[in-house]
Amino acid sequence: MQGRKTFEERLFTNFLLSDRVPADNFYRRLKDTLDLRFIYKATAKYYGREGQESIDPAVFFKLILVGYLENLGSDRRIINTASMRLDILYFIGYTLEEPLPWHSTLSRTRQLYSDDVFRELFKRVLKECINKGMVSGRRQAVVLTPYKTGQESENRFVTVKLGKYGKRKKIIHTRRAIKPSPGSRARRLHGDVSQV
């Protein structure tokens, strides 16, 4: 006999978010790894002592981090994705019943903080992830930086040797990218040919 599933929404349910997110889930591991208590001190100067409470700064930065990790292009998409994913809800410390912040709250809060706060957060998160073995890669990075020289714009490929925590040790070499011909599948780099 063919079975049929019918959905009946329950008014009350016994549900623990932590039971539904596997132990090896990336966001669960990230939640266990990150200690974002320093954010409260770093952002305290941006808030007054009276008025309506803001979004928790740690939640804000976690949502921004989710946006970068998931390659989400807008604050609206960050909130929509977070509302549908149990692992992200667990990471930011929300339950299924709690309403997430409005996407415009993320936009306004982002404008409130200086670049130094974001830079410090990135350094701390990267350092903690490296220490816990979640991030590796100390060999090299290739950066494509467009800049103007004289009248024309060039792209340069820069190979950088990285030290501990991603600090630049030295620039190994730079090469000017020569624009490939329209029908070509190869990009010529001062004598080298690398497939595109």
Domain end (from 76, 98, 131): 131
What is the rounded distance in angstroms from the CA atom of residue 31 to the CA atom of residue 55?
18
Whether residues 70 and 146 share a domain: the answer is no
Q: Whole-number mean pLDDT of the chain?
A: 75
In a domain, 39, yes or no: yes
Question: CB count, 10 Å around CB of 156?
Answer: 14
What is the rounded distance in angstroms from the CA atom of residue 110 to the CA atom of residue 40?
15
> What's the pLDDT tens digit per position in 144-191?
445 444 544 444 444 445 555 545 444 444 444 445 445 444 443 333
Whether residues 175 and 107 share a domain: the answer is no
Structural domain of residue 178, as residue ranges? Answer: 140-195
Q: Examine the pLDDT at 56 and tell me if it is beyond 90.
A: yes
In a domain, 7, yes or no: no
What is the rounded distance in angstroms from the CA atom of residue 148 to the CA atom of residue 154?
6
> What's the pLDDT tens digit per position in 126-135?
888 888 877 7
Whether residues 144 and 58 share a domain: the answer is no
Residue 106 has a pLDDT of: 92
What is the rounded distance in angstroms from the CA atom of residue 156 to the CA atom of residue 189?
10
Which pTM does this prediction carry?
Answer: 0.65
In a domain, 120, yes or no: yes
pLDDT band at 51 (very low <50, low <70, confident <90, very high): confident
In a domain, 35, yes or no: yes
Instruction: Specify the number of domains making up the chain.
Output: 2
Whether residues 53 and 75 share a domain: the answer is yes
Residue 2 has a pLDDT of: 65
Q: Examine the pLDDT at 42 and tell me if it is beyond 60.
A: yes
Whether residues 148 and 127 share a domain: the answer is no
Residue 159 has a pLDDT of: 47
